[in-house]
Amino acid sequence: MFVQVCLYFYCKCLWRCLKFVVRKLTGRCELQRICYNTKPGAARTMKIEASLKGSKSKRLQTSVSVHPDAIEKTIDDIMELKRINPDINPQLGISLQACLLQIVGYRNLIAEVEKLRREPYDSENLQHEEMLLKLWKCLKPNSPLKARISKQWCEIGFQGDDPKTDFRGMGLLGLYNLVYFAEWDTEIAQQILSDSLQPKYSYSFAIVGINITDLAYNLLVSGALKTHFYNVAPEAPTLTHFQQTFCYLMHEFHKFWIEEDPLDIMEFNRVREKFHKRILKQLQNPEMALCPHFAASESLVNM
């Protein structure tokens, strides 16, 4: 343990000495070198984020968690601290601002998603009930729901006659994602629902959607989705970006489920874990953007 601690501090000191030497030789600080030598996107933003977090300056360390309205002031502070003349380096401030918008936006997105996840479904809340009924209408437009409490809910993949009990794990986040998918990618959502009811593929559409919400949530919180969001969101990633990513994951998981050809639903956890590992591997590539092929995410592709 002692040797590991000594090695850590040795490497840290060596790294700072190396940065000092490189700055003297190039006349540029690490932030400048990153912005000038790395193209916009995840590769640049993640390097900027690591550089700021790893700085010995508390002002730089805290710059990744400022309020969005304070980003411009933060950029001025960074330029001043690094003794960079903004008149001589105008592009640097623009590049840093774009990176900070993404970094701060990602943190705020986690908070927004977490808030939805923690909010339980409330059958006494009119808005919650309206969203649930919208889900049914989008998925089954030609089959009127006979009653709020009904076995019909099993037709779209809920476990019982009242869906509210199925949202416990992911709270409102699961409902928000399912409604977004059904409303904005209606044709694909209906097709996947239809496939899921076939004996050959057989799985519960809504329950799997809540499960994939959990997968997307964990990818977000772990930081794995930074690669994707920093490559597709030119500024701060939003809840819409997250929901579009959920749509993509639902679409890809359905194809993956068919490819795996499981014997029955009992293999769900194995298939899900294998799918999770495949997505994680894709996201390890700094150039990666989960390129959706459906209507709701066309805006992502065009960014």
User: In angstroms, rounded to a whole number, what is the distance separating the alpha carbons of residues 76 and 295?
Assistant: 40
| Side-chain-facing half-sphere of 39: CA atoms under 13 Å | 3
Q: How confident is the model at residue 291 (pLDDT cuts 50, 70, 90)?
A: low
Report the SS3 class of residue 256.
helix
pLDDT tens per residue across span 29-48: 899 999 889 999 999 999 99
Q: What angle do CA 233, 236, 242 make, to 5 degrees?
A: 65
Q: What is the pLDDT of residue 300?
A: 34
pLDDT tens per residue across span 100-133: 999 999 999 999 999 999 999 999 999 999 999 9
pLDDT tens per residue across span 236-251: 999 999 999 999 999 9
Domain residue limits, the chain: 26-117, 126-284
Report the SS3 class of residue 167.
helix
